[in-house]
Amino acid sequence: MSEKSPWKRWKSILTLSQVILLFMLVSAVTPCFSQSGAPKINQIIPSQGRVGTPVAITGENFGLLMPGCSVTFNGTPASPITWQNTYIFTQVPEGATTGPVVVHTPLGDSNGVLFTVTNPPAPNQQWFLAEGCTAYGFETYILMGNPNDKDATVNIVYNTEQYGRIPRPTSITIPAGSRVTLRVNDDIPNVNVSTTVNSDSEIVCERAMYWNNRVEGHESIGVTTPSQKWYFAEGCTAWGYETWLLLQNPQTQAATVKITYMTPSGKIERAPVSVGAGQRVTVQVSGDVASSDVSALVESDINIICERSMYWNERRGGHNSIGATGGSKTWYLAEGSTTQGFESWLLLQNPSDKSAKVEVTWMTRVGPKKMPAFNMPPGTRHSISFASQVPSEETGVYVSSDQEIVAERAMYWNNGTGIAGHETIGAPEPATEIYFGEGSTAWGFETFLCLLNPNDKPAKVEITYLTSKGPVNGLTRSIGPESRMTINVASEVPDSDTSVRIKADKPIMAERAMYWNGRGGGHVSIGFMKSSS
């Protein structure tokens, strides 16, 4: 249901994948031909596309790349990535317009072949997802929910580590009140990839990744606005953990990125990182910080997007989260448990230059419980075990501080097949409308909504499930004051993929947790907080 014409979608996706594969094969071959006459173009694949679209040009007598050789799109020069005697790989350049593509060499100009430059409409909303991989056994999915009463048209641009910006040739249609899943591997295989989603109406967008034959996975909501600063409370390079920062630059100019790590013993700074225009870059934290718990502050000279992924036990498990674009004096986390074998941790980062006085309130099913206030030194990170404060409880968390800090929560468990886990950033404030792009009660998945009411009065909550067959209304519920509620989505929409819309008469916090393989794997995310009024 994601395209009006399944045949056109299959054909366009295959073309994009073939172009990337052809580039990788040909670029491995050493040029061994010389030019014997004026160049000639036989074919251009594809024959139309947006700025940044990868283009393969086949023909004769291109010779070797040397001074005087170039490719132009209706007169606008392009930058060749690979140049062979019979093959050129390039991308549609910025400023290109519809017209002839011509190969220029010292022995003459080729025939012109028409290339149509398509211009997608300006988006009403953008989503950015910094993490993603279609190599090394990873599968990546983009989950898009449309809560509106009309169809949404979505155009996607991939920002790759290997090849830069690659637009998806065709749009995706998300029917009204529905959800669509895009498997990124089918579009662009064997790359590290970030994604920009451009929509003509407001939607909700998340990204899920699976590996080891889907034994494990992690997932996160996207962000709608790039920023020059990103904060991460969680991170570890000890105890067998890998920690990675994923940097996405969707802009048309390169970014220079500074990273400051905050450990229990203080700050560590690394050399700046350059992220090219339309590129994604991966930073391995263990190359900068040896054997330590670590928070991070990412600062860029232009607006970018950043996420953090962690793996352990040789990638038996892993989790991922977006960062915060700033500190806050309040944080809300709806999920957390010290029952059924779950181990939960609260991760706090103090990026300020002042000591922070922090108070934590555990919001359990039966009401709130406060722990004694404590101080966090400036530029440090602090971890709190839920079990030390609220053993044998399902609980949300409210964090308050006299300085702006950052809060995240991690959960771990073992169903007998190895340690799994999930993790997320908190929300600085509750909201009256919350949206989730991902959710499934099919394919062996369990999905739970965790709702936290921080108010001193009950909150009335209405839930709508956005399935592939259209919207389904759930039961209306009341959440007690300063307490938390869990909803098993299968009780309302069994055997279905679904996005979720939550509306409440008072500001609340919500997260969505998913499990599979008998809870051998799991991931979690906060929702898109639309309004707090």
Residue whose C-alpha is closest to residue 140's, from 284, 246, 287: 246
The pair of structure tokens assigned to 506 is: 């008072």
Rounded to whole angstroms, how far apart are CA atoms 132 and 208?
A: 8
Both 311 and 169 in one domain: the answer is yes
Q: Within 150-209, where are the H helices?
A: 184-187
The pLDDT, as a whole number, for residue 408 is 98
Rounded to whole angstroms, how far apart are CA atoms 94 and 74?
A: 12
Q: Please report whether residue 217 resides in a domain.
A: yes
| Residue carrying the six token digits 């079990």 | 387
H/E element, 10: helix 6-26
Rounded to whole angstroms, how far apart are CA atoms 525 and 87?
A: 45
Counted domains in the chain? 2
The pLDDT, as a whole number, for residue 31 is 39
Residue type present at position 346: L
Q: Please report whether residue 207 resides in a domain.
A: yes
Both 223 and 255 in one domain: the answer is yes
Beta-carbon count within 10 A of 195 CB: 29
Residue-by-residue pLDDT tens, the chain, 533 positions? 333 333 233 334 444 555 555 544 444 443 334 567 899 999 999 999 888 888 999 999 999 999 999 999 999 999 888 999 999 999 999 889 999 999 999 999 999 999 999 887 788 999 999 999 999 999 999 999 999 999 999 999 999 998 898 888 889 999 999 999 999 999 999 999 999 999 999 999 999 999 999 999 999 999 999 999 999 999 999 999 999 999 999 998 999 999 999 998 889 999 999 999 999 999 999 999 999 999 999 999 999 999 999 999 999 999 999 999 999 999 999 999 999 999 999 999 999 999 999 999 999 988 899 999 999 999 999 999 999 999 999 999 999 999 999 999 999 999 999 999 999 999 999 999 999 999 999 999 999 999 999 999 999 999 999 998 999 999 999 999 999 999 999 999 999 999 999 999 999 999 999 999 999 999 999 999 985 54
Q: Please report whether residue 456 resides in a domain.
A: no
Residue whose C-alpha is closest to residue 450's, from 397, 374, 497: 397
List CB contacts of 263: < 8 A, sequence separation 6 or more: 289, 292, 293, 294, 295, 380, 381
The pLDDT, as a whole number, for residue 94 is 85
Rounded to whole angstroms, how far apart are CA atoms 205 and 224?
A: 9
DSSP 8-state secondary structure symbol assigned to residue 93: P
The pair of structure tokens assigned to 442 is: 């099919």
Question: Tell me, what CATH number does 109's domain have?
Answer: 2.60.40.10
The pair of structure tokens assigned to 197 is: 């989603």
Which domain covers residue 190, as residue numbers? 125-322
Both 97 and 180 in one domain: the answer is no
Both 68 and 107 in one domain: the answer is yes
In total, the chain counts a number of residues equal to 533
Q: Please report whether residue 416 resides in a domain.
A: no
Both 78 and 146 in one domain: the answer is no
The pLDDT, as a whole number, for residue 407 is 98
| Residue carrying the six token digits 């009780």 | 491
Both 178 and 198 in one domain: the answer is yes
Q: Please report whether residue 172 resides in a domain.
A: yes
Q: How far is CA 528 from CA 88, 123, 202, 204, 322, in A?
A: 43, 18, 11, 7, 12
CB 463 within 8 A of CB 498: no
The pLDDT, as a whole number, for residue 4 is 34
Both 140 and 78 in one domain: the answer is no
Q: What is the pTM of this model?
A: 0.86
The pLDDT, as a whole number, for residue 5 is 32
Q: Which of 117, 143, 177 is the last residue of a domain?
A: 117
Both 96 and 193 in one domain: the answer is no
Both 50 and 193 in one domain: the answer is no
The pLDDT, as a whole number, for residue 533 is 46
The pLDDT, as a whole number, for residue 377 is 94
The pLDDT, as a whole number, for residue 170 is 86
SS3 state of residue 159:
strand
CB 412 within 8 A of CB 421: yes
Question: Tell me, what CATH number does 185's domain have?
Answer: 2.60.290.11
Q: Which of 117, 139, 155 is the last residue of a domain?
A: 117
Both 88 and 187 in one domain: the answer is no
Q: What residues form DSSP beta bridges with 472? A: 465
Q: Please report whether residue 174 resides in a domain.
A: yes
Q: Which of 287, 322, 357 is the last residue of a domain?
A: 322
